[in-house]
Amino acid sequence: MSEEFIVTTLEYVPGYRVKKILGVVSGSVVKARNIGRDIVAALRNIAGGEIVEYTELLASSRDEALKRMIEKARIMGANAVVGVRLATSNIMSGAAEVLAYGTAVVLEKEV
């Protein structure tokens, strides 16, 4: 059974101490809108309210960026990523990047 992998926005994890800092780790994904989603979004924009199609697109992008960051940290030998942050940016019209980054570390339980 594999050990739990900890991901946190905190700089520390209560009950653990940082045994080793492995370095900055990141994961990103660039996704583009599609015409079908844009048509539905335009109709929702007229009526007002949440544009669920874009909310779902951004949520899946965020999850994929975090997954990629964690995979890179595991490859480095980490069992945690601390100080996690998320950022977004427009790459071009209709396409955006979601970036997840933090510090890959090896944690051990305090005694």
Domain assignment present for 68: yes
The pairing of strands 95-109 and 6-7 is unpaired
Sign of CA dihedral 33, 34, 36, 38: positive
pLDDT band at 1 (very low <50, low <70, confident <90, very high): very low
Among 11-15, 70-74, 93-97, 104-108, the range scoring the smallest mean pLDDT is: 93-97
Helix residue ranges, H only, 77-105: none
pLDDT of residue 35: 62
Domain assignment present for 53: no
Domain assignment present for 1: no
Residue ranges making up the domain that contains 63: 6-31+58-109
- pLDDT, tens only, 26-84: 999 998 866 665 666 666 667 667 777 778 888 999 999 999 999 999 999 999 999 99
**Angle between the N-to-C axes of helices 35-47 and 52-76, in degrees from 0 to 180, rounded to the nearest 10:** 130
Please indicate whether residue 52 or residue 105 has the higher confidence score (pLDDT): 105
Q: What's the CATH number where 17 sits?
A: 3.30.110.70
Domain assignment present for 91: yes
Q: Specify the number of domains making up the chain.
A: 1
Domain assignment present for 36: no
Domain assignment present for 42: no
Calpha distance 53→51 (Å, rounded): 6
Domain assignment present for 49: no
Would you say residue 6 has pLDDT above 70? yes
The whole-model pTM stands at 0.83
